[in-house]
Amino acid sequence: MKIILLGPPGAGKGTQAQLITERFKLAHISTGEMLRTAIRNKTETGLKAESFMDKGQLVPDDVVIALVQERLQEPDCENGYILDGFPRTVAQAEALDTITEIDAVIDINLPDDFLVERLSGRRVCPVCERSYHVELLNGATTCPDDGAVLVQREDDEPKTIKSRLKVYYQKTAPLIAYYKAKGIVHAVDGTQYYKVLGENIADELKAVQ
Ligand code: AMP
């Protein structure tokens, strides 16, 4: 199965991608995570991407497409994968069409006020990349899974959140119509508790399998 997870920033794509990859034994491809690793390692891609990411803007299509193209050739992608955060523009979707055929697009819907609240309260583990909300951490400052000190992503600042949402509606939301035309979109309600949402997504995917 080759799946795309679509939805605005803060919709829970990363969390859902982790649940789905464990359940369906797929490779998890998060372009955001790949880019953050590239920045940490100061690679050429990281240097190109950093200034865009800091401002909440999209990294240029050619940089991200090259990254994904290379990643999809790795052996763990042979049994299927889930794309989390890619494609984010119609140009990226068109490039992906030349590489492979996607089986399903999961479109996670939720209103903006949920997103702002989630993103501003989000803390991430720099080791396992899991996200947590401050309210559920009960004052804890370390990852419940591996003990690493949780951090706030630089692009989760209120000012940057606004520009990320704007970019989503301008550049990424048109992909819903793009994939609807192919008849492969499955819309789900992202306001639900994450485990319930995970079950909904699994049901949608079982029907595709
Ligand atoms: P994410 O972790 O998916 O929220 O992505 C964090 C940031 O990485 C985004 O705000 C963009 O700056 C950049 N990014 C991730 N995926 C893409 C993509 N497919 N195209 C362009 N920029 C991306």
User: Under DSSP, is residue 65 helix (H, G, I), strand (E, B) or coil?
Assistant: helix
Q: pLDDT of 101-113, one tens digit each?
A: 999 999 999 999 8
- Report pTM: 0.92
Q: Where are the domains of the chain?
A: 2-26+79-206
Where do runs of H (alpha helix) occur along 10-111?
13-24, 31-40, 44-54, 61-71, 90-99
Q: What are phi and psi of 194, to 5 degrees?
A: -60, -30
Confidence check: pLDDT of 158 > 90: no
Closest protein CA for atom 2 of ligand 1: 32
Q: pLDDT of 36-71, one tens digit each?
A: 999 999 999 999 999 999 889 999 999 999 999 999
Q: Are strands 2-6 and 104-109 parallel, antiparallel or unpaired?
A: parallel
Q: Which of the given ranges, 52-56, 150-154, 196-200, has the highest pLDDT on average?
A: 196-200
Given ligand 1 and candidates 88, 94, 122, which is best to mutate, with the most ligand atoms within 8 Å of its CB? 88
Contact 122, 132 (CB under 8 A): yes
Distance separating alpha carbons of residues 88 and 179, to the nearest angstrom: 12
Candidates 3.40.228.10, 3.90.1300.10, 3.40.50.300, 3.30.43.10; CATH matching 2-26+79-206: 3.40.50.300
What is the band of 7 on the pLDDT scale with cuts at 50, 70, 90?
very high
Distance separating alpha carbons of residues 36 and 66, to the nearest angstrom: 16
Q: Are strands 122-124 and 131-133 parallel, antiparallel or unpaired?
A: antiparallel
Q: pLDDT of 63-91, one tens digit each?
A: 999 999 999 999 999 999 999 999 999 99
What is the band of 129 on the pLDDT scale with cuts at 50, 70, 90?
confident
CA of 7 to the centre of ligand 1 (A): 12
